[in-house]
Amino acid sequence: MPDETEDPRLAAQGELALARAALDAGELSDAAAYLAGALGHAPTMPEVHEVLARLRARTGDGTELFPLDRPAFVGAVVARAHLLAAGGRPDEGLELLVAATAHDPGMDWAAVPWVTDPELVTRIGPENITGVLMRLCAAVAEPAPAPQRAALAPYLLLARHAVAAYPQHALLCGAASAYARRLGETGLAVRWAQQGVAAQPSKLGEVWLGYAHRSAGHTNEALAALRRAVDHDPDDLSVYTDIAGTLADNGRLAEAMTWVERALARDPGFDCAVHTAQRLRYRRDGDVRHLIALADFQREHPDRTHEHTDLAECCRQSAWLGIVPAASESIIDVLRQLSAATEPVTAGRLRLSELEVPSAMRTLATAAPGLELLVERISAPDLRLPRRPQGRLLWRYDGTTAQPALPAPSAAAAERLRHLAQPGWPHPPAAYDAAVSLATVEVDDLLGLLLHPPRPPETPLGRALAEHDPALWHRTVQVWACLGLLHHRTDEAWESSARRELLLGLVWGVEDWITEAALFALVTAAWVDPTVRDDVAEVVAERFRDALAVARQRPSSITWSLARLAMITPGIDPKVAELARRLFPDTGPRPRRRRRGWWARLRRRLRRRR
C-alpha cells in the first residue's frame, strides 16, 4: 500500500506508465503487476481501468494474471474483481471488492460504474446481495468513522437499488437496514427494517428493526421490537442482553437487571449474559469484585468467539483499572504550571515545606535543571529511608537531593519499553498480556528504567506528554517496567519466585511512585492468577496500612493511590477495602488540593535571575 506521505495519484501514474510499457512489450505478467500497484494507489483512476481493459482484450480474460496468492496483494484482488465483472461474473467480483473493503474500508474500492449500475442487482440476485451486505456489516464498524463513509457509500447505493428491485425480500431489507445504520442513515435503516418485517415477520427482522430504532434514538420503539423478537424465539438469550443493555443505557437499570437475570436463569454460562450482568452490577454498586469475576470468566472461557468489551468499558478512565493516575505532588503542580507558562523559567528558587518523593523531585530537576529546590524540613518518618529492611535501594541522597543508585538501562531495553508504554490499557489482564514483550528484557535494565525513563515516543500522545506532563510519562514507564518484572522467570513457583521478591523489594523501598507501580504489578498478578490472590491481598493491605500510619505523622502523596489499589485487589479483606473507600470515597481522578493564591505564591518563589 502507498506510503501516507506519497501522492497516490502520482504513484499510480508511475505504476501505470510502467504497465503500459510492459503491455506494449508483450510482458503481460509485468503489466499486471504494475496495474495491481496502480489500483492499490488509486482504485478509481479512469486511466488505470482503460489499461486494465486493454490487458483483458489481449488475453481474453486476464484473471489468471492476478492470482489470489496468500497473502494476496489488495491491488491484485481488486484487478481480478473488475475482470470478473467484465467477464460476466459480477457476483464473484463483488465478493472480492468486499474483501478489499474489509482490508481497508477507507479506500474507494467500490466507486466504479459497474458497482453502482442499477442493473447489477438483477444480474446478481437478492440472495447474493444480502450476503454481500452481511459481509460488509461484519467488516465495517458501527458507526463507520466519518472519513470512511464516502468510500463505503457505493455499497449503500447498491443496497438502494436492491431494495427497490426486491421490496418484499425480508432478509435483503434487514441486511440493507443494518448497513445503512453503520453509515449513519438511521431514518433509512428504520424504513428498510420496517419494510422487511412487514414482508415477513421474524425474530431477525425484529432485531434489525430494534437496532435501527435504537440508533435513531427511538428507545420505546426499539424495546418493543426487541420484545417481539423474544416472542418469536424465547431461547435466543442474546436478545435478552440487548434489551438489558438498551434499558441500562437509558437509565432503567433495575429493569435491565431483570432481563439479564432471566437470561442467566436459562443458561448461567451464556457469555453475553455473564458479561452484561457483571457490567450492570458494577454500574449499580461500583464493587470491583464484579469486574474480577468477569475477568475470571474470560480467562476460563478462552474459546468464546464473540468479542466483548464490557470489562474494558468499566475500566476505562478509572485509576489503575484502566489508566495511570496523575501525580499529585506539589512540585509536579509547579512543573505543570511551568509547562503552561508563556515565558520559560530557566532558573529560580523554589521552597518546599516538606521533602517529596524522589521520582517527583527528579522529574522536576530534569525538566527544569536551573531551578534550585530548598526543602524546609524532613519530617519523620524520614522519606529517604526504605519502609522495611528488605526494601530495595534505588536512590542515594545527598542531603535532600535524590540521585539514581542504579545505572541507566541499555538502549535496546529503553527503546522497547518506549514503544510499548501507554498511560492507559483496556483492563489489568490486558496490561499483563501486553507486557509479555518485556519478558526477555534483563532485570537490571527494567530496574534502570524505573530511574532513567527514556524520552516519550514521537507520536501525538508522546509529544503531548513531553510538553505538558512529563511526570505522567515517568510514571507510565515505571508501571510498564514493573509489569515487565512480573514476566521474569514465570516458571518459578510464586511464593519463592524472583519476580515476587523483586516486586516486594520495590513495594517496601523508599516511598515513591515506584511503590505504586510495583504494587499495581502485584495487583495485576492477582487479577490473572487466582492462586496468588491471598498473598497479594495481604501485601497490599499491609502496605496500605503502613501508608496510613505514615500519613498520620507527615504528608504522604501516594496514600490515595494505594487506597485505590487496595479497592481493586482481588481477595482483599473487605474491612481494608471499606477503610480505603471510607477514607478516599472518590473513585475517579485524584482530587486536587485547594490552594488559595497558589500561582501568586509560586511567582514570588520563582525569582528569575538576570
Place of cell 519466585: 497
pTM score? 0.84
pLDDT of residue 341: 72
Confidence band, pLDDT 50/70/90 cuts, at residue 345: low
- Cβ atoms within 10 Å of 503's Cβ, excluding its own: 25
Task: Give CA torsion, residues 589, 594, 595, 597, to 10 deg.
Answer: 110
Cα 431 from Cα 72, distance rounded (Å): 33
Predicted pLDDT at 609 = 33
Least confident range from 224-238, 414-428, 456-470: namely 456-470
What percent of the chain has pLDDT above 90?
A: 85
pLDDT bin (cut points 50, 70, 90) of residue 108 is very high
Backbone φ and ψ of 135, nearest 5°? -65, -35
Helices then strands, counting H and E runs in the chain, come out as 31, 4
Average pLDDT, stretch 195-201? Answer: 98
**Kind plus residue range of the DSSP H or E element containing 419:** helix 411-420
Please report the pLDDT score of residue 601 as a whole number. 40
- Region 57-81: what's the mean pLDDT? 91
| Average pLDDT of span 573-577 | 96
In this prediction, residue 348 carries a pLDDT of 79
Between 270 and 306, the higher pLDDT residue: 270
pLDDT above 90: residue 596: no
**For the residues 201-205, what does the mean pLDDT come to?**
97
Lowest mean pLDDT of 61-75, 106-120, 350-364, name the range. Answer: 61-75
Q: Is the pLDDT of residue 604 over 50?
A: no
pLDDT score of 369 = 85
Helical pair 170-182 and 126-139, crossing angle rounded to 10 deg: 30
- pLDDT band of residue 306 (cuts 50, 70, 90) is low
pLDDT of residue 480: 98
pLDDT at position 605 over 80:
no
Q: What is the pLDDT of residue 114?
A: 96
β-partners of residue 352 are 375
Task: Please tell me the predicted confidence (pLDDT) of residue 347.
Answer: 73
Asked if the model's pLDDT at residue 305 lies above 60, the reply is no
pLDDT at 304: 61
Output the nine-digit C-alpha cell for 235. 431461547
**Model pLDDT, residue 510:** 96
Of 446, 479, 470, 466, which Cα lies nearest the Cα of 360?
Answer: 470
Confidence (pLDDT) at 5? 45
Position 143 pLDDT exceeds 80:
yes
Residue 586 pLDDT: 60
pLDDT confidence of 606, banded at 50, 70, 90? very low
Q: What is the rounded CA–CA span in Å between residue 63 and residue 51?
A: 14
Residue 320, SS3 per DSSP = coil
* pLDDT at residue 608 greater than cutoff 50: no
Mean pLDDT, the chain, rounded, equals 92
Give pLDDT, residue 555.
94
Q: How far apart are CA 32 and CA 53, in angstroms?
A: 11
The answer, yes or no, to whether residue 148 has pLDDT greater than 60, is yes
How far apart (Å, rounded) are the C-alpha atoms in residues 47 and 78? Answer: 15
How does pLDDT run across 474-504, given as a tens digit for each residue? 999 999 999 999 999 999 999 999 999 999 9
pLDDT in tens, 528-559: 999 999 999 999 999 999 999 999 999 999 99
pLDDT digit string (tens) for 170-196?
999 999 999 999 999 999 999 999 999
- pLDDT at residue 350, as a whole number: 87
Tell me the pLDDT band of 6, cut-offs 50, 70 and 90: low
Cell numbers linked to 279: 457490567
What DSSP line would sit under 510-534, residue for residue? SSSHHHHHHHHHHHHHHHH-GGGHH
164-173, 243-252, 299-308, 427-436: range with lowest mean pLDDT = 299-308
Q: CA angle 323-328-330, nearest 5°?
A: 155
DSSP string for residues in 15-67:
HHHHHHHHHHTT-HHHHHHHHHHHHHH-TT-HHHHHHHHHHHHHHSS-GGGS-
Q: What percent of the chain has pLDDT over 70?
A: 94
Q: With contact defined as beta carbons under 8 Å apart, do 435 and 484 qualify?
A: yes
Which segments of 237-357 does DSSP mark as H helices, in order?
A: 237-249, 253-266, 271-285, 289-300, 310-315, 330-340
* Residue for grid cell 501516594: 558
3 state SS of 373? strand
pLDDT at 2 over 60: no
Q: What is the pLDDT of residue 338?
A: 81
